[in-house]
Amino acid sequence: MGCSICRTRLNFGRALSKVSLFFTMLLIFMYFFYCFSGLCNSIPRTQFNLQTLTPEYASQNELKERDGSAVRSVSYDEVLLASSSIQPQIPDSIERESLPSNGISVSNTFGSKKFPQAIIIGVKKGGTRALLEFLRIHPDVRAVGAEPHFFDRFYDKGLEWYRHLMPRTIDGQITMEKTPSYFVTKEAPSRLCALNCQTKLIVVVRDPVTRAVSDYTQTLSKSPGLPSFETLVYKNATSRTIDVSWSAVRIGMYAKHLENWLQHFPLSSFLFVSGERLVSDPAGEMGRVQDFLGLKRIVSDKHFYFNQTKGFPCLKKPEGSSRPRCLGKSKGRTHPHIPAEVLQNLREFYRPFNLRFYHMSGQDFGWD
């Protein structure tokens, strides 16, 4: 009798441990299922800097390049994806000055990753970084710091790859990105329209002559042996025919590129921001941008001061920082001297394109 009670207890104990083992296994299985379906990403995450992995801590607000290798902030997402099969190539064009000035990345741990509702699609060297950084002060704007280059270089990586690059947003916040090369990419408008034809498009335009020189200055800074501007700008030096195959020239033919976009998007989808006014009156231009995006006018003249040394407007309090900050050294560079006659030739070349662009956009930018 006593023994049968013992046996019953023993069997009950065994059954209990089997049941608890079963539930433990079930819990582990559910956890892995939850993670593999991507839901783990909603767990509050930390962000850290590669700086913490490097012996020397970069104390400056912008990321530094040391011995040619960039030290840059890496989000948890980037590390997560780098170890997975879908690797987001962090574009070379990643803007090092896009980080908060304390060097610590601030991550939104709530909300979800959505496709952008608004994109700064161009133009290269127009002032796109300044615009994005100014917009990021707005509490209802969340933007990717780097240029995703999805609709030009990385389209084959697929939409989920693209969405994953986006920051999390909560209701009422808009997701944004900037990739200036979209404006001149033939396939970009149809690809973007296939995703969302309601996307708001912002184009920062600047005098195409100055833009071309700025573009050349950037290339020269990377390749000091580059031929002179005047060598590259002419297809035929004797006849002084402008070489439209040179990207520094081609990008400035705004009317041509806009025509391509207008095949897929109505004019009302666009806001053209003056690159010149973004420097002379940043608050005024930001007012227009906020209205276009349906945002409350929060970014105002209170946020800017003119830095005499830099020669550009800078932010009193950039996103994630309480200290004033200007854009990095690669923004607002001194341009090399170009003979006045060459600039004049280029100005004449652009005139018909500019006039057509003013007509198409309904705005006179006064470049002529």
Ligand X SMILES: Nc1ncnc2c1ncn2[C@@H]1O[C@H](COP(=O)(O)OS(=O)(=O)O)[C@@H](OP(=O)(O)O)[C@H]1O
Q: Strands 118-122 and 174-178: what pairing?
A: parallel
CB of 131 to ligand X, least distance (A): 8
333 near ligand X (CB under 6 A): yes
331 near ligand X (CB under 6 A): yes
Label residues 333-347 b or e (16+ Cβ within 10 Å = b).
Answer: eeeeebeeebbebbe
313 near ligand X (CB under 6 A): yes
Please report, to the nearest 10 degrees, the dihedral formed by the alpha carbons of residues 176, 131, 149, 295 taken in order. 20
The answer on whether 309 is annotated among ligand-binding residues is no
The answer on whether 333 is annotated among ligand-binding residues is yes
CB of 259 to ligand X, least distance (A): 21
Given the residues 64, 113, 124, 125, the one annotated as active site: 125
Beta bridge mates, 168: 113
88 near ligand X (CB under 6 A): no
The answer on whether 127 is annotated among ligand-binding residues is yes
CB of 20 to ligand X, least distance (A): 58
| CB neighbour class for 33 (10 Å; exposed up to 12, middle 13-18, buried from 19) | exposed
The answer on whether 138 is annotated among ligand-binding residues is no
343 near ligand X (CB under 6 A): no
Q: Strands 69-70 and 65-66: what pairing?
A: antiparallel
Residue span binding ligand X (CB under 6 A) among the ranges 98-106, 284-292, 328-336, 349-357:
328-336
51 near ligand X (CB under 6 A): no
Q: Which residues contact 252 (CB under 8 A, 6 or more apart)?
A: 123, 208, 209, 211, 212, 350, 353
For this structure, is 235 an active site residue?
no
73 near ligand X (CB under 6 A): no
Q: Which residues contact 331 (CB under 8 A, 6 or more apart)?
A: 97, 129, 130, 312
CB of 292 to ligand X, least distance (A): 18
214 near ligand X (CB under 6 A): yes
Contacts 24+ apart (CB under 8 A), 28-36: none
Residues 111-170 within binding reach of ligand X (CB under 6 A): 124-130
Beta bridge mates, 119: 177, 201
Which residues contribute to the site for ligand X (CB under 6 A)? 124-130, 180, 214, 217, 278-279, 312-313, 327, 331-333
